[in-house]
Chains A and B, each alone.
Chain A
């Protein structure tokens, strides 16, 4: 499923014009994006939480050529699945 399919599904489920459903979906993801850019934590009960993890730099190696590559420090959002989603997705509940 992609974003436009998600918008369509919401419009259908809630009997909303596509434009309105699009606003909801865009608001949801852009709010989370803005928070993460500001290094804020995001917590959506039932779905999961995001927080920025900082990774230190290191010297890597190109396995083919053996060249040393400097990997610079980076920040990445880490997603921790929420309890409800975790349980619903797990195979034992699925089967």
Chain B
């Protein structure tokens, strides 16, 4: 079983939002999260974790199939660090 957007929309609907509004609000929330990260700003959700944007320098990689060396360009990536509160809950530590 995988939790998807549809499940989150169902919960919002059961909490009293209309179907249409539930979809709209979730999409709007996701857009705010994404554009914030796009700007390079991190997102800290206490009790859940932190999403941050990291800059990775260019490096020489290798095609594992052919062994050919390729230049991997510098890039920006999103990384997630789980909060210790959530980590303990996942590991059954109270």
Contact = CB atoms under 8 A, between A and B. Distances in A.
Interface of A: 1-3, 6, 9-10, 13-14, 16, 23-25, 27-29, 31-33, 35-37, 40-48, 50, 52, 74-77, 79, 81, 84-86, 88-92, 94
Interface residues of B, number: 51
B90 interface: yes
B72 interface: no
A27 B41 contact: no
Instruction: Classify the secondary structure of B's interface with A.
Output: mixed
A58 to B, nearest CB: 16
Contacts of B37: 85, 88-89
B90 A40 contact: no
Contacts of A79: 51, 78-80
Contact of B89 (A37, A85, A90): A37
B45 interface: yes
Given A2-B46, A35-B3, A41-B2, A23 B15 contact: yes
